[in-house]
Amino acid sequence: MKVLHLLYESEGDYYGTGGVGVRAYEIYRHLKDRHDITLLCKKYPGAADGYKDGLRHLFAGTESKSLTKTFLAYAYKAAQLVRDRGDSYDIIVEEFSPAIPTFLHVVAGKPVVLQVQGYTGALYFRKYNPLYASALSLMEQLRPACYRNFIFVNDETAARFRRNAGSRTAIIANGVSPELLSVPIFKGDYVLYFGRIDMYGKGLDLLLAAYKEFSQRLPAMRLVIAGDGRDMEKFKKAVTALPGEVRKKIEIVGWVSGNMKTEVLRKAAFVVFPSRHEVQPIAVLEAMACGKPVVVSDIPGFNFVQKNGAGLSFKSGDAPSLALSMKELAESGDRIETGLRGRESAKNMTWEKVAERFEKFLIDTAGLS
């Protein structure tokens, strides 16, 4: 099967790689030996067409540090490539983003699967100016209704979108590397945030406010920040503005991967995800696979945490509530048992199993079964 996947974030991208990119690379790592995979990615400074880890990469758009210009140029050039060369593939997968108006349903001659990994809704108006937010919100509602084949990561996201009658839909969750399931359980001695540095979306402003209160009650427990993103400088300034006795207990280790990521997770007491908006983030699943209890906001994207008894939740957007949940988990006598429940639930979510479900859906949709 020849697959063309429109992936708007790729390894080496100036703007970083989040869950969308991680998911694609992990799935195709398991499929590349039996299928011909091409990733059509947005161009960034220094990007060059070619093969990387057995996957063909094509870059479309413009080399700009303006995210809006990059997205729009990518949408135009990617749609042009699909129109001109899309018939040479058996199936096309498009990662959905309201900011990237490709309208592939108009230009593609082969089946297109729209993979939807999130829903933002009214939060656009808290992140952007009203005009831009209105455009994104409108595109989020209108564009998916034009497609016929969908992959969602959970039922909550699928329920947000209007689809054609008779559309083909699959719910395929995110996954974890099986190696994390065998990481030795370690009680840990610090609070960990693990993910993209996005002040508002990831709730890092709430985390700093909550940790300031938390550290007064449990002064020996440090806060470690593992991740990177375009808000890093803003985040560092926010840390610098904290009182000295709090600031000195916060360590920013940057982006971690491989063995370093495993060690950072293993040595944590628990992991905090204070996001205002999420759809089953991979980082939470990885923490659970390592046997770490988690503290999450009470948004729909984290329902699986409470369902599996893998941690505690707090009222979204409420820093005192977050501080209280952090304190409760830090002082809990069954913290290890909570982490083990999370690990048990992660055992059925390895990337190999995710890739098998993904592969079957593409083959069936392409009519190759």
pLDDT for the residue 155 = 87
Residues 249 and 162 in one domain: no
pLDDT for the residue 33 = 95
Residues 221 and 140 in one domain: no
pLDDT for the residue 46 = 85
**Low-confidence winner among 127-131, 175-179, 292-296 (lowest mean pLDDT):** 127-131
Residues 108 and 51 in one domain: yes
Task: Kindly state the average pLDDT of the residues 335-340.
Answer: 94
pLDDT higher than threshold 90 for residue 81: yes
pLDDT for the residue 257 = 85
pLDDT for the residue 229 = 84
pLDDT higher than threshold 80 for residue 88: yes
Domains held by the chain: number = 2
Q: What is the pTM of this model?
A: 0.84
pLDDT for the residue 182 = 93
Structure tokens at 138: 């409108």
Residues 26 and 112 in one domain: yes
Residues 236 and 312 in one domain: yes
Contact 60, 41 (CB under 8 A): yes
**What is the CATH classification number for the domain harbouring 85?**
3.40.50.2000
pLDDT higher than threshold 90 for residue 125: no
- Between 269 and 121, the higher pLDDT residue: 269
Q: Cα–Cα distance between 128 and 132 in angstroms, integer?
A: 6
pLDDT digits (tens, 9 = 90+) for 134-193: 999 999 998 998 899 999 998 888 888 888 778 899 999 999 999 999 999 988 999 999
Contact 284, 274 (CB under 8 A): no
Task: Kindly state the average pLDDT of the residues 214-222.
Answer: 94
pLDDT for the residue 296 = 96
Residues 12 and 87 in one domain: yes
pLDDT for the residue 122 = 84
| Nearest of 205, 175, 206 to residue 280 by alpha carbon | 175
Residues 251 and 327 in one domain: yes
Confidence grade of residue 326 (pLDDT, cut at 50, 70, 90): very high
Residues 309 and 200 in one domain: yes
pLDDT higher than threshold 90 for residue 7: yes
Percent of the chain with pLDDT over 90: 69
Residues 241 and 362 in one domain: no
Most confident of 65-74, 147-156, 276-285: 147-156
- Between 286 and 67, the higher pLDDT residue: 286
Percent of the chain with pLDDT over 70: 99
pLDDT higher than threshold 80 for residue 16: no
pLDDT for the residue 25 = 95
The parent domain of residue 338 ranges over 178-346
Task: Kindly state the average pLDDT of the residues 248-265.
Answer: 93
Residues 295 and 210 in one domain: yes
Residues 166 and 194 in one domain: no
State the chain's mean pLDDT as an integer: 92
- Between 209 and 14, the higher pLDDT residue: 209
pLDDT for the residue 346 = 92
Residues 219 and 330 in one domain: yes
pLDDT higher than threshold 80 for residue 64: no
Confidence grade of residue 128 (pLDDT, cut at 50, 70, 90): confident
pLDDT higher than threshold 80 for residue 369: no
pLDDT for the residue 278 = 81
